[in-house]
Amino acid sequence: MTHAIHATLTGHPDNPPGLDHRVGVTLLLKPDGSLTLAYAIHGPIGLLRIPGPDRPAPPDALWQTTCCELFVATGNDAYREFNFSPSGQWAVYDFSAYRKPVEIPLPCPAPTLESGYEANRLRLDATLPAAALPAGEILTCALAVIVEAHDGRRGYWALAHPPGKPDFHHRGGFTLCLDKTGVRA
């Protein structure tokens, strides 16, 4: 049995005017333990800088332009961050605690990425094999999207925003749980 949930992300209160896109993510947790995320950004897509295969960003800077993100934690302070770019690039980071990268990252198999856009919608689909996710029966997740306008302004969307500037690493944003029996908000 495949379990799915649709999550609507909210814009950060300090997002610049004109970046008022609607953002949603559909998650499919499959019986083999793999996870598919279907990100959809609705609004004036022509205003956005969208990296393509011909304009890739540096791998460690995908989050500095239009990018979709997933943060996954288990019952301890450790968590894993995934960045997915419309260019087809991806990055993974392991942390032992809040913004504290591990010295030797754990191995991570590559996700499968597909993206496309039209005048009013950008989509990015990412499928993570089960081995890419941290071990554990219950995973707590944060979903996030960054959009960059052609003029360099950035907007930030997440399931929840803790007080202050955008901070996707803050545990206050980890509000979605995945478990072996399905996905629950």
CATH number for position 142:
2.60.40.1190
pLDDT of residue 95: 96
| Domain encompassing residue 29 | 3-184
Domain count for the chain: 1
Reported as a single tens digit per residue, the pLDDT across 128-174 is 999 999 888 888 999 999 999 999 999 999 999 999 999 999 999 99
| CA-only gyration radius of the chain, Å | 15
CA-based diameter of the chain, in Å? 45
Q: Could you give the residue ranges of the DSSP H alpha helices within the chain?
A: none
Using CA atoms, how far apart are residues 113 and 82, in angstroms rounded to an integer?
Answer: 12
Reported as a single tens digit per residue, the pLDDT across 20-75 is 999 999 999 898 889 999 999 999 999 999 998 876 666 788 999 999 999 999 88
Using CA atoms, how far apart are residues 180 and 70, in angstroms rounded to an integer?
Answer: 18
pLDDT of residue 1: 47
Share in percent of the chain as helix, strand, coil (round to 5): 10, 50, 45
Residue 2: pLDDT over 90:
no
What string of H, E and C letters represents the secondary structure of 159-178? CCCCCCCCCCCCHHHCCEEE
Tokens of 2: 């495949």
Who's near 18: CB < 8 A, 6+ residues apart? 47, 149, 153
